[in-house]
Structure 1
Amino acid sequence: MSYDHGGHWSPAAAKARGSYDHGGHWSPAAAKARGDGAFEAFVRHPATATGAVSLRVQAADAAGDTVTQTVYDAYGLKHSGGR
């Protein structure tokens, strides 16, 4: 992994995914670079989505080192529909 002088890892790319069945199937989410070495992801819920949403993020640095983090049941949906 490559770290800057402050001990922070600087990802060059990131991918995000969301799951509505506890990780059985993953749907891509839009990941966007913020320009400060950080990324943000936008999860769009399908109209049929209910229950909990699990999240998975994969990041890579310029050297090709990678990290994957998964949070099962990260948050719940109060209702179904497109948000």
Structure 2
Amino acid sequence: MITAFVMVHADADRIPETAQAIADLEGVAEVYSCAGDVDLVAIVRVREHDELADVIADRLSKVSGVQDTSTHIAFRSYSSRDDASAFSVGLD
């Protein structure tokens, strides 16, 4: 499985709609709105390297509200912990 992190600059008045439209794309596992240099971070997971172009260049970058993207491809993962538990810390 190939994982890519796509940093997305979006129209400020369309961030929620843009995030949901990206999340609905096949190949997109998750989308996070965040503070900092980018508006959204999309996690793309595909089986073949060539599929990255289909998901990111052909579909994600053309979603209404997307201004610009920057893609970072993961080489390996160093964490085996459950991500869901990390986001639930302190929510008991």
Global fold match (TM > 0.5): no
More helix by share: 2
Which structure carries more relative contact order (alpha carbon 8 Å, separation 6+)? 2
TM-score normalised per structure 2? 0.34
TM-score normalised per structure 1? 0.36
